[in-house]
């Protein structure tokens, strides 16, 4: 079985790393003959073909701009197809990757799977993020009905697609694979309290201000800091203090002056695991999240979570049991829940342990489920 994946995760062509995407895709390779991954990159980045494992290869498009990604992805596919007859094209979103995948399906007769890693349909918050999202929505509603299979991350997403008339028989709920053993067995590093002498709040995200809503994040952190001192850690965006003042003028000057914060950029998986375990509360402020891998990882480490009530978060969090849900963009509600957990450490620990039990039962390495889906697609 030969698979081609089309997406935008530059980690898969040697770009800056956050999380375990390289390891996950290398594991897919254990079940197929070849996995080739076409990734949008800009020509100025000068990225090269990247080997993830013996039979898993990342191919950067090095496009002049994202406008040309559609054409470049099809061109890159043609090169791959001449070497190995491709069985399935997997598109990581239903927009430009999905549109390219649909064109490839029609020209080469391959099967098409489209993934939803975001909460796009029936989501006003997502539409408001960027004007182009309205165009992307139209593209997705053209592509998705013509796909052979649609993989979503949550039941909430599946229900949205069914309401839009998508055949439920071709919608599969399979969340992103997570190495649960790694998180469940980890212990909190000794000496954390001595290092900061304050409880630690952590947020994990790439620097995507639209979907991840850093404005709400820093408003909430500032409001919470006025009521309770803590150490704040943001992992993935790599902010500087100058960037914060420029982009988020509402951030508390007191918070900045105390310097009880740390901003980290791309982080190796093992380091990220250590950071989870040296934190007390994990927060997420996304406006549209189809799953919420960070939330599952945090719970697996026994940490309580506070998140905006996205479709994905509502699938993971039972409000008041393993964490708290707050309305999207509601910085005050988020701040209140942060302060509550910091003021009630026994309750926070109880919620974290409840979360550990819940995710242990529900989530894990879904790699083989995804491979079975590919085989099912080929047999239909």
The answer on pLDDT for 93 being more than 90 is yes
Which range, of 27-36, 307-316, 335-344, averages the lowest pLDDT? 307-316
The answer on pLDDT for 296 being more than 60 is yes
The answer on pLDDT for 286 being more than 60 is yes
At residue 192 the predicted structure's pLDDT band, cuts being 50, 70 and 90, is: very low
* Long-range contacts (CB closer than 8 Å, 24 or more residues apart) made by 313-320: 313/284, 313/286, 313/289, 314/154, 314/156, 315/153, 315/154, 315/155, 315/156, 315/291, 316/291, 316/292, 316/359, 318/358, 320/351
pLDDT of res. 193: 45
At residue 209 the predicted structure's pLDDT band, cuts being 50, 70 and 90, is: low
The answer on pLDDT for 351 being more than 60 is yes
Q: How far apart are CA 286 and CA 229, in angstroms?
A: 24
Residue in 96, 333, 324, 118 with CA at minimum distance from that of residue 206: 118
- Structural domains of the chain, ranges and CATH numbers in brackets: 2-177+365-378 (3.40.50.2000), 181-362 (3.40.50.2000)
The mean predicted confidence, pLDDT, of the chain is 91
pLDDT of res. 216: 94
The answer on pLDDT for 191 being more than 70 is no
pLDDT of res. 187: 58
Q: Give 97-154 pLDDT, tens digit per residue.
A: 999 999 999 999 999 999 998 889 988 988 988 899 999 999 999 999 999 999 999 8
Average pLDDT over residues 209-217: 86
Q: Give 34-62 pLDDT, tens digit per residue.
A: 999 999 999 999 899 999 999 999 999 99
């Amino acid at each position: 079985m030969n698979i081609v994946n089309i997406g935008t995760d530059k980690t898969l062509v040697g770009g800056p790393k956050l999380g375990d995407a390289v390891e996950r895709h290398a594991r897919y390779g254990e079940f197929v003959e070849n996995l080739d991954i076409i990734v949008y990159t800009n020509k100025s980045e000068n990225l090269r073909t990247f080997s993830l494992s013996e039979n898993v290869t990342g191919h950067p498009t090095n496009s002049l701009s994202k406008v040309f990604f559609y054409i470049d992805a099809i061109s890159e596919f043609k090169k791959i197809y001449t070497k190995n007859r491709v069985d399935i094209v997997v598109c990581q979103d239903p927009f430009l990757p999905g549109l390219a995948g649909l064109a490839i399906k029609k020209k080469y007769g391959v099967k098409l799977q489209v993934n939803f890693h975001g909460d796009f349909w029936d989501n006003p918050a997502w539409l408001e993020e960027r004007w182009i999202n309205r165009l992307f929505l139209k593209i997705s509603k053209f592509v998705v009905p013509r796909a052979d299979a649609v993989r979503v991350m949550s039941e909430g997403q599946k229900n949205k697609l069914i309401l839009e008339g998508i055949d439920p028989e071709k919608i599969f709920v399979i969340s992103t694979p997570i190495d649960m053993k790694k998180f469940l067995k980890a212990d909190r590093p000794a000496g954390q309290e001595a290092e900061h002498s304050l409880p630690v709040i952590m947020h994990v995200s790439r620097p995507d201000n639209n979907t991840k809503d850093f404005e709400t994040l820093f408003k909430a952190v500032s409001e919470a800091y006025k009521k309770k001192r803590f150490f704040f850690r943001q992992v993935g965006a790599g902010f500087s203090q100058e960037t914060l003042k420029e982009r988020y003028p509402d951030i508390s000057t007191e918070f900045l002056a105390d310097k009880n914060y740390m901003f980290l950029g791309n982080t190796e998986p093992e380091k990220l695991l250590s950071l989870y375990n040296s934190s007390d509360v994990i927060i997420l402020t996304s406006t549209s999240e189809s799953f919420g891998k960070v939330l599952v990882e945090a719970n697996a480490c026994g940490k309580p979570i506070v998140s905006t009530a996205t479709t994905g978060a509502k699938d993971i969090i039972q409000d008041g049991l393993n964490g708290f849900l707050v309305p999207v963009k509601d910085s005050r509600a988020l701040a209140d829940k942060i302060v509550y957990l910091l003021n009630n450490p026994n309750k926070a620990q109880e919620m974290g342990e409840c979360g550990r039990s819940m995710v242990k039962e529900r989530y894990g390495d879904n790699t083989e489920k995804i491979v079975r889906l590919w085989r099912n697609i080929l047999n239909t």
